[in-house]
Structure 1
Amino acid sequence: MTATAATAATAPPAPTRVAVVGGGQNCEHEVSLASAVAVADALDPASYDVVRLTIGPDGAWRVGDRALPLGEAVAVLQSCAAVLPVVHGPRGEDGTLAALCELAGVAYVGSGVAAGALAMDKWATKLVAQALGIATAPAVLLTAAGAATYAWTHPVVVKPVAAGSSHGVSMVREAAQLPDALEAALALDDRVLVEDVVIGREVDVAVLGTADGGRLVPPALEVVVDGWFDHEAKYGGGADFRIPAPLEDVERKALEEAALAVYDALGCAGVARVDFFVTPDGPVLNEVNTMPGFTAQSQVPKMFAAAGLSYAELLDRLVRDVLPR
């Protein structure tokens, strides 16, 4: 064997080329940017050659400072072994990016088209949960045309059907607050949910679907906040995340079973975060996030870290589970 052949035989494999997509054309653009930067930075450069793609608020794609027509952006995606679509909210988490990857024939991390669309739609998620026998907050679905006919009778939460990070979400404690709350929600979506207020502890459960069909559920996380968990509390540092959430065995089992049932019924893949209220009558489903916040300080990575799986290890597992075999 020549020296050149010996060197080639012992050389480490080339890093796997992966694309990390952040930003997005929605109200969660900045949060998605933070998640994507954190994900790209955490991927081991010895294992991964990371291509960082950004979707601007105007929908334009970029690599660094260079703008890309959509066709060129798709070509970049196709040059990668896998894509991590770290875009929260509409035109991303709702199955849009999954559909683009499907059409481009590129493997991608996370839920597919149908699961993303269903989970993003809070009304559809309620219907799925109710079919499973999982409680949800009583709610009314309104459109812009019918919103003026809604008569306020008790405290409610008003929220867009398809938005995240608590954008457009308002607590309405008196009738005079209702018009502004409906206007804020309708500015982000043409459908709005008006939900009864649920009194309970806010507990999140993460589910990771593995390549072999298994399911991993790390310790649950309780969100403790003075007031309610709105956008300012989520991103202003006002929330206390307690892991593991202090739960009785019966409560923990009920939450995990409900989270797994919803994850499977929606057809989720990769990681999803299932948010509940824990009440004296049992868990009440709040919502499902198929692309939750994903910095190292976000809820899902913290839950898996509590289970012994570091942020970098979690990302590595997510990518390796979708790489072509």
Structure 2
Amino acid sequence: MNRWLGRGINFGNALDALGGGSELPLDERYFDEVARAGIDTVRLPVRWSAHAEPAPPYAIDPAFFQRVDAGVRAALDRDLNVVVNVHHYHELCAAPDEHLPRFLALWQQIASHYADHCGRLCFELLNEPRGQLTAARWNAVLAQALAVVRDSNPERTVIIGSADMNDPGALPALAVPDDDHLIATVHYYAPFEFTHQGAGWVEGAEGWLGRMWGEPADENAVRDDLAEVAAWGRQQRLPLFIGEFGAFSRADMVSRARWTTFVRAEAERLGMSWAYWEFGTDFGAFDLQRSAWREPLRRALLG
């Protein structure tokens, strides 16, 4: 399945939108663009927690389920793989004990709802665990959530990541369950001062504007980071998926394209699948206003 995931892209800021920023309309023509470009996989970040009851049985709004279904169907109809996750469940990260029953109930509904879908649909348990979801706590929560999924989807590919926001350096603390249908994920945004320069939600990011990327030392740093990830995967006998990587739109385009090309090429050299963050908003490889790919980023991703 990891080979099938291949080259992917995130449809971020659509079903996971927090409001107050750029949002991606989940339009079927964007799935057409992705398929025509030669991309294999769409990762659909979904903020289920904003569309479910706060008290038992924590039912997910049927109308929202229909929106997610439309995205899943649009991808599968075009022979794209699709990754559906739980995204932006910040309350779980802040208060795991309080929100664990709700988190498990969300996965029981999601897994049951998609149990009959083909194997090109994958589940990702939680995007970027953080805060009070420390490594030890997250390992326990992950195991419980996986067990819930396995009740209705015994052979579905499930993607798991470490605490500390899926940072590659946190992989050694991830307790990998005994399961034959797992893929591990990391998110890669290094160096952060380059990839997030000018990002309004990051304190101090305005001071990073103008940072370039592309010197031999820059390449060596990426090479070393991803080599460590690959070594961990070999040790665990677990395939690897870089579920997010990208550089914010205020960075110099030449440097963005160099960085994207290098990360993508190293990931592929090491046998990792990947999904660029993201399609058409703040990091976007596609210009929604022009209805066209940003050619330096398209080339960086696909050659």
**TM-score (ref. length: structure 2):** 0.34
Greater per-residue helix proportion: 2
Q: Which one has the largest radius of gyration?
A: 1
